[in-house]
Amino acid sequence: MTYDPEIPRQFYDNLGDREWHRLTKDRLGELLFHVHMDVLRLHIGPEHSVLELGAGAGIFTKELALLAGRLVVSDLSQVQLDLNRQHMIGAGCFDRISSFENLDIGDLSELDAGTFDRVVCIGGPLSYLLDRERTALEGLIRILRPGGRLVVGVMSLLSTVIRYMRGLKNEKESYGIDAIRWLLETGIQDGSNYPGPQHAKHHVHMMRSDELDALCDDLPDR
Mean pLDDT across 38-47: 98
Position 83 pLDDT exceeds 70: yes
Per DSSP, which regions of 126-199 are E strands? 144-152, 188-189
Task: Give this prediction's pTM.
Answer: 0.94
Region of residue 10 (phi > 0: left; psi between -120 and 50: alpha; otherwise: beta): alpha
Task: Number of helices (H) and strands (E) in the chain: give both, helices first.
Answer: 9, 7
Compute the distance between CA of residue 99 and CA of residue 182 in angstroms, rounded to an integer. Answer: 41
CA angle 55, 31, 39 (to 5 degrees): 60
Three-class DSSP category at 99: strand
Average pLDDT, the chain: 93
pLDDT for 197: 67
pLDDT for 195: 79
The DSSP call for residue 104 is B
Mean pLDDT across 155-177: 90
pLDDT for 199: 54
pLDDT for 219: 82
